[in-house]
Chain A
Amino acid sequence: MSLQAKIVSVGAWGHDFRDWQDLQNLFNGLAFEDDGAKGPKPEVIPANERRRAPLPVRLAVESSWQAAQNSPFSPEELSCVFVSALGDTQLTDYMCKVLAGESKQLSPTKFHNSVHNAAAGYWTISTGCMKAANSVAGYEESVSLTLLEALTQIENEKIPMLLTFYDAPVSAVLKGLLKNDEPFAVSLVLAPHDINADGVKINAEVLQESAQWPELKNCSEQLKALYENTPTARILTLLQLLMMTETNPQRTLDLPLSAGSSMRLIAS
């Protein structure tokens, strides 16, 4: 049985790109003029909240906003699923240091920001979206599992969805285990496949065989390193596929889902 949807827009923010156009330029070998920004400042979050929003939240909300703006939908029409493979390890670091001490007095704002669904919370609060908001984790398989979660929801509920993949640099203490050292966020808006809008149709099948993450080809060493070290950046392989639609009308991608299953994506 296959799952179908149409990708209608993309948003992106990373160390060497500020939007989807920048990222496409990067794939095409064009240099990025660094503006020195350490993280995005998404205008959609009210100023007083934005100051308190941690980096992973700002990354996720910025790329979500871009994708929503580039789509035929307003944010409040979109159910959403957010995924961070590594979580907010800077906040974990803060909390664990305080809790290892005597006083154990935590900042209430930092505590509520420490939930894994902080990005989904800030996004729905900032945009007034009252739809279902999911926040998931899948470690190395974060990207494929999130696509699966969204595709089954689109199939069952006939709704458009926002998918946001993001991770931030890992704290010093956990860096030996979880590698990422770059800010990264990519968002996609997916709609039911029969929607009357521009986009790339994807057809997904779950196979009972394991797969390896495909190599990211024809791009800079820096993008390759990001792809290797940051589980959520594996979405780059699907983005590269989207860019090739014009030259190559049907493209296939096999992504690992679990020890014994994989997802075959066909874009057309």
Chain B
Amino acid sequence: MDISLIDYQSTSAAGINLDALRSALSTQQSGLRANDFPRSGLPTWIGRVSQIDDIDLGEWQSRNNALANIGISQGTILDNIEQLKSRFNPNRIGLVMGSSTSSIDRTETAYTDLNEEGLLKPEYQQKTVHNPHAPSLYVAHLTGITGPALTINTACSSSAKVFASGARWLQSGIVDAVLVGGVDTLCLSVLHGFDSLQLVSENPCRPFDQDRDGINLGEASGFAILMRKEDAQHSTGIELLGYGESSDAYHMSHPHPDGLGAKLSMQQALKMANLNPESVDYINLHGTSSRANDRIEGQLVSMLFPKTTRCSSTKAWMGHTLGAAGITEAIIALDTIKTGIIPGSMNLSELDHDVDITIQAENVEQTVKHAMTNSFGFGGNNCSLIFGQEQGE
């Protein structure tokens, strides 16, 4: 595909930026804590980014926008955007954001404070915030990107699919660079929504463990800059090799029992990357720690990949960050190519008896040439991505 990653950054409970995330991963320091989200009271563990609690963005205010603001300010993302804006034209830079909650947190808050007629008070009359497109509207405003800006809302696959759309936009030549991102924040809708489906654990999550008892919710943002390889003056040395996108056609909130949709997305990504399963050194699994997901995904991976492919779920570091999980875990997966440290599946003590894959709690030091990540969302929406070391001309 020849799509290079120019830069990437991640913000979650596991670390405010990429350096902090690398450190948390290498020392197996979890960012999860007992649920202290205001007005919730649900007995569970969450991955909360406290640094955004007191940010005030005025007319753009929402917890989700605050996390986008902090997240994009890390590392060199904004510097690179400024350089690209002057090298090309802000109209030739695209933006694709993924989110499941957009800024629903702000709508929730507004409803606790309606006026006497039951309508929005002036400070909540934010039409660009109470809006599924809010993440892109805000990030375009922040960065001065004036090219096409799209928001993808496919639940928990949202910010994996941003890489597929970004790559297509570049390959069609309609833009010269694309900022892709994902941002989702904790809110009562997701905490109490997942609780209504009886999917939330009262304990720190244990993906793939025989005794796992549900998920922990978290919040995160992630950003990456993509360019056509021939246009990139510098890069991270990582490229996107393939993507797969599919549907389960089975159920709104339960995965296909045989993982048929997930199988299609992994196979498509391999085909596009022109790789055999043997060539994939590491898979960052969706691994939510729900009973159904981990068993189905684990069985599928054992059918498709050899034992030399190492696997883990990293959700015990920051929780399931929903619409931001795709890019958060894409970054964890592709960063193993740089660091040579494959994170373990933290909190795993006894592997699910029905699953037979190469997975363990401890980190492993190993050269990684090709890394894959899976993201599966409500509505049976699947996306798999494969990254590799950039090859010279």
Contacts and interface: CB of A to CB of B under 8 A. Distances in A.
A137 B153 contact: yes
A153 interface: yes
19 contacts: A3-B172, A84-B132, A87-B131, A96-B107, A97-B111, A99-B189, A100-B111, A116-B155, A130-B249, A133-B381, A134-B161, A135-B152, A135-B379, A138-B150, A152-B165, A155-B172, A173-B120, A178-B131, A258-B148
A106 B249 contact: no
A206 B131 contact: no
Given A99-B188, A104-B192, A206 B148 contact: yes
B286 interface: no
Max chain A C-beta neighbours (<10 A), residue from B91, B146, B194, B247: B247
Contact of A106 (B40, B120, B196): B196
Contacts of B168: 152-153, 155-157
A148 interface: yes
Tell me whether chain A's interface is mostly helix, strand or loop, or mixed: mixed
Given A129-B249, A156-B171, 16 more contacts: A96-B104, A100-B108, A106-B189, A108-B198, A116-B154, A117-B377, A121-B380, A132-B245, A132-B247, A133-B381, A134-B245, A138-B149, A139-B133, A152-B168, A206-B174, A260-B90
B124 to A, nearest CB: 9
Given A100-B111, A135-B152, A114 B120 contact: no
Interface in B108-125: 108, 110-112, 114, 118-120, 125
B293 to A, nearest CB: 15
Given A133-B154, A136-B152, A125 B252 contact: yes
B127 A177 contact: yes
Given A84-B132, A152-B169, A133 B379 contact: yes
Contacts of A208: 89, 91-92
A1 B174 contact: yes
Given A120-B381, A133-B154, A148-B148, A178 B247 contact: no
Contacts of B152: 134-136
A63 B130 CA distance: 26
Nearest to B164: A132
A247 interface: no
B174 A114 contact: no
B292 interface: no
A86 B175 CA distance: 27
Interface size class of A (residues with CB under 8 A): 35 or more
B119 A257 contact: no
Given A116-B100, A156-B172, A137 B247 contact: no
A120 B130 CA distance: 22
B119 A259 contact: no
B193 A106 contact: yes
A127 B149 CA distance: 30
B24 interface: no
B102 interface: yes
A125 B188 CA distance: 28
A71 B165 CA distance: 25
A99 B153 contact: no
Interface in B274-315: none
Interface string A251-266: 0000001111100000
A172 B119 CA distance: 8
Nearest to B141: A259
B248 interface: yes
